[in-house]
Structure 1
Amino acid sequence: MADTERASRPETTITTPGGAPEEDPERARRHRMAVFGGAERKLADQSVDHSLAERLAALVADAGEVYDLAESPDIYGDGVVAELERRTAEELGFPAAAFFPSGTMAQQVALRCWAARTGNPTVALHPLAHPEVHERQAFSQVSGLRTVHLTDEPRLPNAAEVLDFEEPFGTLMLELPLRDAGHVLPSWEELVAVVEAARERDAVVHFDGARLWETTPHFGRPLREIAGLADSVYVSFYKTLGGLSGAVLAGPESLIAEARTWRHRYGGQLFQQFPAALAGLLGLRKVLPEIPSYVTHAKVVAQAIGEGFAQAGVAWFRVHPEPPHTHEFQVWLPYDAEVLSAAALRQAEESGVCLFRRWLPSPSGPQGLSFTEVTVTAPGLAWTAEDVRTAVADFVRRLR
């Protein structure tokens, strides 16, 4: 799981009530990032693993492949930003698209536009969807939207739950994949049925597709066909594609024209965004074609992790989902998160192998149950199943 906390606070000395010194959280965070970023072997390369100089140098070195750098920088969304909008709309199969500085803003704009068109501000979504868990009630606090939940199961709703819900809603929002449930996806047939059920209720369908790029292997369909099920789609460029920031909302021309007006009202009409736009174009060119190989190898890694824990005699563990639906999945263990995080850090620091990163306590389960997210990208392709099993055995030894 990416550690994206900002490094802006000064170092301080913290003491416990008994007077013993504790490690400064900021210093610990910096140390953790340096260790994981500097590991010789890792399953995924994350943006926080690199310095500002390294990220800028990479952008300068590669950006000429995707855009003419002799052109002028963008001004309020023209130039390279408009080119990213065009290419993303083409990739998703929509007639128009608008670039936003964040997915939070893009989705608020999309859903308030749909609410005005349907006459219903109620949005049906999963309780684990990103707006419900990670956006501080932005839908209700900022955009006047109301949310309802069609199911509490750790999966997307099925067609029967959509059809049988007891009150009307204007928009059905589906997060593909549902990250906080384990990056899970329905089957293609289930997804089609859910969309058809929403249409039968006269609701529009919006995809929270921050990680939609990852779904093509699971569904066995091209991206345009998947996105084409929805009335509008949001995609992210820094999730999965390795960009700097930013998101695109794609949909019908009239919706996107209205969204551009609301983007301005929300403060998203930025003067220049060319670094983020160039990074997004690079993600489409270089990373997007490689994602199927990441998903395929994630299944190998996930199976080997399970085998490693079993061989090490761990009494209970869980790899979820098994096999993974995308190139990201969860691993669960019956230990405190602090214990697991410390073991992961020691392993990377002492052996140069970064198998796991930070662990988190179960949000709803019993104490002493924790999980981590595992992501497999280009560096992970070099790991064999035996490499993974060996790393798991070493991690378990550090726990004991």
Structure 2
Amino acid sequence: MDEEREKRAAVLRGCTRVLSQQPTRTMRERLAELAAADGQAYGLDGLPDVYGDGPVARLEQRVADLLGFEDAVFFPTGTMAQQVVLRCWAERTGSRTVAMHPLSHPEVHERHAYADLTGLRSVWPTSAPRLPTAAEVQALGEPFGTLMLELPLRDAGFALPTWDELCGAVDAAREREAVVHFDGARLWETPAHFGRSLPEIAGLADSVYVSFYKSLGGFSGAAVACSADLAGQCRAWRHRYGGQLYQQWPTALAAQLGLDRELPRLPEYVAHAKPVAAALAGAFAGVPGARVHPEPPHTHQFQLWLPYPADTLAQAGLRLAEETGRALFGGWRESPLPGLSMTEVTVASSALEWTPAEVADSAAALLERLSADPGR
């Protein structure tokens, strides 16, 4: 696996154009990026953090201000952040039942930590590949203490509801006397879709989790924005869960850089994702089973489905990158339907160099290599 990763990274670094992911940077390059940051702006001449003060505390306050909350709590991982805040709400509401989507991150990507470690249980308002509606929240046949909404819902294609649909689902939870938590790992990229500011969107919820490496390109890390009272409870449980690390200043600095450099550009990425998705849909229109989802994209990320095995697609894409200097997609994964695979397309800074015509031309070149592959 390491050998394959290194080979792919080397090919990407040699490309003149990369559509769906940034070329992999070395550790030296990432350290140089931190060292080149404006020392005065980020307090580089000050002391590192010790158990969450200094640069970590400054990052927490910045996130709270950006999202319009009293406080925010830094966590080393989003998985820990979600467990802690959902546990705190369970203690406050007296209910260990959380209403969430079956495609939500805690259900699919966290080995059910919320249940196995925190003792919570989930109920599903809907299994449709979208966020639940107000009617579905109202119709849940058993009580729940927290409604968790993932914005955007990554495994449904980075899907978002309309603003009115989101407000309706939140209101329905309030009518059920439940609190609302947003799994907003990628909340940073949603204002363009909703036509609302980050504080307006986050303000619908009682707490919001955000990531510092998804969308922002940081090293790792997350935060939960909430009231000052809840933040104190989260900090106590963060310590119990092993999240009170001695020093985290490199992660905090990388997050600050992401907030300064990537957050202002996300609307541009979201806008460019639409013509990129349209170009891909047109290029693969004659391929049975090919699909861009959703079309148009709700954020700067979307899914592309093609009727080939994942390994075949990966190898054809690698050959395309080696032979033309243009890389289209990242990794592929196969669906339960044999021969059909999916990749997540992320339109970020490197994708802005691509015109729709160039996207279509490279997609056609990929199809040529797929047609010549006997392993299809």
Tell me which of 174, 185, 188 is aligned to 2:149. 174
Tell me which of 184, 204, 210 is aligned to 1:209. 184
Once residues 12 and 102 of structure 2 are traced to their aligned partners in structure 1, the CA distance between those partners, rounded to angstroms, is 32
Once residues 148 and 139 of structure 2 are traced to their aligned partners in structure 1, the CA distance between those partners, rounded to angstroms, is 16
Which is further off, 338-347 or 268-277?
338-347
* Matching of residue 32 in structure 1 with residue 8 in structure 2: yes
Matched with 2:223 is 248
In the alignment, is the contact (CA less than 8 A) between 1:336 and 1:368 conserved in 2?
Answer: yes
* Alpha-carbon shift at residue 336 of structure 1 (Å): 1.1
* Alpha-carbon shift at residue 59 of structure 1 (Å): 1.3
Once residues 136 and 49 of structure 1 are traced to their aligned partners in structure 2, the CA distance between those partners, rounded to angstroms, is 28
* Matching of residue 84 in structure 1 with residue 59 in structure 2: yes
Once residues 295 and 325 of structure 1 are traced to their aligned partners in structure 2, the CA distance between those partners, rounded to angstroms, is 8
Which is further off, 334-343 or 119-128?
334-343
Structure 1: state its 5+ residue gaps: 1-24
Letter in 2 for 1:347: L
Matched with 1:380 is 351
SS of 1:84's equivalent? Answer: helix
Matched with 2:264 is 289
* Alpha-carbon shift at residue 286 of structure 1 (Å): 1.2
Matches within 5 A, 1:1-400: 25-46=1-22, 49-64=24-39, 66-310=41-285, 313-362=286-335, 364=336, 366-400=337-371
In the alignment, is the contact (CA less than 8 A) between 2:21 and 2:329 conserved in 1?
Answer: no
* Alpha-carbon shift at residue 55 of structure 1 (Å): 0.7
Once residues 65 and 245 of structure 1 are traced to their aligned partners in structure 2, the CA distance between those partners, rounded to angstroms, is 23
* Alpha-carbon shift at residue 174 of structure 1 (Å): 0.5
Structure 2: state its 5+ residue gaps: 372-376
Which is further off, 142-151 or 63-72?
63-72
SS of 1:97's equivalent? Answer: strand
In the alignment, is the contact (CA less than 8 A) between 2:85 and 2:224 conserved in 1?
Answer: yes
Letter in 1 for 2:290: F
Aligned-pair Cα RMSD in Å: 1.1
* Alpha-carbon shift at residue 156 of structure 1 (Å): 0.7
* Alpha-carbon shift at residue 64 of structure 1 (Å): 2.5
SS of 2:312's equivalent? Answer: helix
Q: TM-score, normalised by structure 2?
A: 0.97
In the alignment, is the contact (CA less than 8 A) between 2:273 and 2:299 conserved in 1?
Answer: yes
Once residues 28 and 356 of structure 1 are traced to their aligned partners in structure 2, the CA distance between those partners, rounded to angstroms, is 15
SS of 1:49's equivalent? Answer: coil
Structure 1 stretches (4+) deviating beyond 4 angstroms? none
In the alignment, is the contact (CA less than 8 A) between 2:20 and 2:328 conserved in 1?
Answer: no
Q: TM-score, normalised by structure 1?
A: 0.91
* Alpha-carbon shift at residue 45 of structure 1 (Å): 4.4
Letter in 1 for 2:278: Q
Encode CA deviations 1:206-264: one digit per residue, 9 max, x unaligned.
00000000101000000000000000000000100000111011101110001000000
SS of 1:85's equivalent? Answer: helix
SS of 1:350's equivalent? Answer: helix
* Alpha-carbon shift at residue 113 of structure 1 (Å): 0.4
Encode CA deviations 1:85-125: one digit per residue, 9 max, x unaligned.
00000000000011000011111110000000100000110
* Alpha-carbon shift at residue 65 of structure 1 (Å): 6.2
Once residues 161 and 377 of structure 1 are traced to their aligned partners in structure 2, the CA distance between those partners, rounded to angstroms, is 35
Once residues 291 and 20 of structure 2 are traced to their aligned partners in structure 1, the CA distance between those partners, rounded to angstroms, is 21
In the alignment, is the contact (CA less than 8 A) between 1:334 and 1:370 conserved in 2?
Answer: yes
Which is further off, 183-192 or 313-322?
313-322
SS of 2:149's equivalent? Answer: strand
SS of 1:143's equivalent? Answer: coil
Once residues 103 and 37 of structure 1 are traced to their aligned partners in structure 2, the CA distance between those partners, rounded to angstroms, is 29
SS of 1:62's equivalent? Answer: coil
Once residues 152 and 181 of structure 1 are traced to their aligned partners in structure 2, the CA distance between those partners, rounded to angstroms, is 10
Once residues 256 and 37 of structure 1 are traced to their aligned partners in structure 2, the CA distance between those partners, rounded to angstroms, is 42
* Alpha-carbon shift at residue 314 of structure 1 (Å): 2.3
The alignment of Structure 1 onto Structure 2 pairs a total of residues equal to 371
In the alignment, is the contact (CA less than 8 A) between 1:36 and 1:357 conserved in 2?
Answer: no
Which is further off, 35-44 or 335-344?
35-44
- Indicate the percent of aligned positions where both proteins have the same amino acid: 60
Once residues 186 and 116 of structure 2 are traced to their aligned partners in structure 1, the CA distance between those partners, rounded to angstroms, is 25
